[in-house]
A and B are shown apart, each in its own frame.
Chain A
Amino acid sequence: MKAGDLGREYQDGEAIITQGEVGDRMYVVQSGKVEVVRTDGAAEVRLAELKQGDFFGEMALFDKDVRSSTVRAKGTARVLTIDKKMFLRKVHEDPSLAFRIMEKMSRRIRELNEQAGK
């Protein structure tokens, strides 16, 4: 990592979050790429590839369920953690902070609808 890099660096293939684990934070990709994969039995399905500025793990901020998928670095990737308590406290004061996340979730639902329709 360069001296001015923020967040934490993950090496190629390193898991940032793991499917089935309990999560209490979300992440923002600062640089590089990460891939979202879901395991069903022995089969692994690649759901998405995320790049700088993309969020993941945001569902953990709004529900109490376990992580729905694994997110791992694709090449070297750097991500910033956003703490659940800090975020929710701030959203209580300024609900508009959640707007970008809602935008992202809305886009994902649209993509899922399109996939389901195929």
Chain B
Amino acid sequence: MLIQPFSPAHAGLVRDESRTVGYADSVSFPRSHEQVTQIVRSLYQDGIPFTVQGARTGLTAAAVPFGGHILNVTRMNRILGLNRLGENGFSVSVQPGVPLCELRKALSARRFDHASWSKASLGALSAFMHSREQFFPPDPTETTATLGGMVSCNASGARSYRYGATRPYVLAVRAVLPDGRSLSLRRGECFADGYTLTLPLENGSRLTVQIPQYIMPKTKNTAGYFAAPDMDAVDLLVGSDGTLCVFTELELQLLPLPACIQGVTCLFETEIQAAAFVQAVREQVEGVVSLEYFDEGALAVLRDQRADHPAFASLPPLDEWIGAALYVELHGDDEAFVTDRLNEIGDLLSACGGDPAHTWVARTQTDLDRLMFFRHAVPESVNLLIDRRKQAEPGITKLGSDMAVPDEHLDHILTYYRQTTQALGLHTATWGHIGNNHLHVNVLPRNLEEYTKGKALFNEWAHKVTALNGAVSAEHGVGKLKAGFLTAMYSPESLAQMRAVKAAFDPKLLLGRGNLFAEKEESR
């Protein structure tokens, strides 16, 4: 039986990293496109709503069900093959449940379970073995995320500063629509005619969709469906937040790994020094692929966890004077180039009130892993802190923002975040992609009152960020938790156009209920 009743052993499946807890009636773990089709058809027939989920590492509760069926794709975790793109390029075909870390491991060790691969794939593998090392650029902090999840929310990460989000790397998809029909799309083969998109389905039928006519912000953005005249059909499905289809196969573009990768974490006394340094690096240093920020609050939480928790004991010591830290990653095709850039960074540090002696440079994979661990330890240790507070006050949870603004507003928005949270006396920890003016301000409520205040404040921010031509959700997707923000960013007409897209794909509105479009009242 593909569809099983929900049992206590499945308790973990109704929560995600946002700490939202839902409920469900049944669950399935399909392994193939055919099994997904069978499950979806049965659900469609019975009118049962369902939620697709991968590793549940998301931060917006998009994978958390509130009733109905859980379609869990983590067992669709095979790498299906490699493909050659032109002379030197490669792409990889995967099932949606492959975790990013597993794909990375396979690419870097060049080791695949290729027993069932096609002849063409094996040929590509042979070429791949002798080519330069390849990588998949999108790099969300949580590398246990599944690729299906990453495509669904158009994930990005630190390196998006240079390489962009997941969307452009999706070359082809195969999916099951909410009514059980199959769809295969390849980038460059199916475009909208103005705002009308006609999708050819595998059974020969067609699906026609009207593309929304809003203008998307120029910043990083995952708020709402991607929409542009004459757009590629693939782009609509990427970032659709589990509301349009169930991905069953993905073909992802790979890039040759740069020969030299180095990272440096720069330590500052104040946020002002760090912000000045960001501006200087953006303007003057080539080869920068990420610019990541950690504020005083984030460093303080990390400092405490390092003392208390054995898992974080291997972090470098954080002296008390450090009030801000910035991670800069450099990619280049030779070491001399990167070393020169590192030197420039040293000079800029001296100019901005930093000190080349107060830096941690990583020039080997081991050291890069240590700085990555540091980056990853920030949200992890904040979660641990919240879990502790939650024990005393079960009603609270972490509030994490995911908003981006255009370059010219960086200083302004930093000051604004700082002033508005301080005015309410909220405990915050802030980190994230400062290179894209995209910071995760996390409010860490100590009680229900602060939780409510923080929630209201985020709504205020949504309006502010929209006014600055920014995005209310830049990389986490919208899911259920940020659905409310869309009303700040989009007009009622735009939202209605989005709902029309949803209805074209899913007339019974069964898939991913509560994602993007807020349900009237959710009983939590």
Q: Do A and B bind each other?
A: no
Which B residues fall within an 8 A CB radius of A? none
